[in-house]
């Protein structure tokens, strides 16, 4: 009997909740921040999900100097609208995002090869697959794994990178016809 009462109570709460939501009670606005508890739950889900999927990846050989250059080129063309770079101010696009895109050059460098390796695999996984409901695109639909690894390497190298270092790496003329989006940070620079 008790179980029946509890079950009816649970059902009533569920139905009331659904009525409230269809009446528009939940605010989907990007300007309406999550509660701290919701934020913690989302973070826990994201971190666990990425760790579980990135853990078994095999990191290929990435020490060829061209890897960093390829990563830098792609980053500069496709990622700075949201993730910014050491040589620019926050874009209007980046300011409006929720959740906010992390600013990689303001991150602390990780210490220890194991931790760095884990981070590299997690970066690779996120860049390749994107993240639901965050605006982080899946670049693996349009880029092969080698290019995604190159981007992951560059994103990791961005920690603590200065403006001069960034410019030196991203303004190399590789003669491959790739266009850079000098000076303007409002997108449409990728070709």
In the complex, the residues that contact ligand HEC under the rule CB under 6 A are 46, 74-75, 78-79, 81-83, 97, 99, 101-102, 122-123, 126-127, 131, 134-137, 139, 151, 155
d(CA 97, CA 131): 14
Q: Compare residues 57 and 101 and give the one whose CB is closer to ligand HEC.
A: 101
Residue (of 35, 151, 76, 1) closest to 9 by Cα position: 1
The neighbour count for residue 114, using CB atoms within 10 Å, is: 8
Shortest spacing between CB 62 and ligand HEC, in angstroms = 15
Shortest spacing between CB 116 and ligand HEC, in angstroms = 13
d(CA 177, CA 191): 10
Shortest spacing between CB 55 and ligand HEC, in angstroms = 14
Shortest spacing between CB 187 and ligand HEC, in angstroms = 8
Q: Compare residues 67 and 151 and give the one whose CB is closer to ligand HEC.
A: 151
Q: Compare residues 93 and 167 and give the one whose CB is closer to ligand HEC.
A: 93
The neighbour count for residue 104, using CB atoms within 10 Å, is: 21
Contact 157, 60 (CB under 8 A): no
């Amino acid at each position: 009997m008790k179980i029946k009462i509890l079950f009816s109570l649970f059902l009533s709460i569920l139905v009331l909740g659904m009525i409230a939501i269809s009446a528009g009670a939940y605010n989907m606005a990007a300007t309406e921040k999550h509660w701290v508890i919701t934020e913690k739950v989302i973070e826990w889900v994201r971190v666990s999900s990425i760790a579980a999927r990135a853990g078994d990846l095999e990191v290929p050989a990435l020490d060829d100097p061209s890897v960093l250059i390829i990563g830098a080129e792609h980053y500069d063309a496709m990622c700075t609208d949201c993730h910014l770079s050491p040589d620019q101010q926050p874009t209007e696009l980046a300011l409006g995002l929720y959740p906010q895109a992390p600013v990689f050059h303001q991150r602390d460098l990780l210490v220890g090869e194991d931790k760095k390796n884990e981070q590299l695999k997690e970066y690779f996984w996120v860049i390749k697959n994107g993240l639901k409901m965050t605006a982080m695109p899946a670049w693996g639909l349009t880029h092969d794994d080698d290019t995604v690894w190159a981007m992951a390497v560059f994103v990791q190298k961005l920690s603590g990178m200065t403006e001069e270092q960034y410019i030196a790496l991203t303004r190399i003329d590789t003669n491959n016809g790739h266009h850079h989006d000098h000076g303007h940070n409002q997108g449409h620079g990728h070709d």
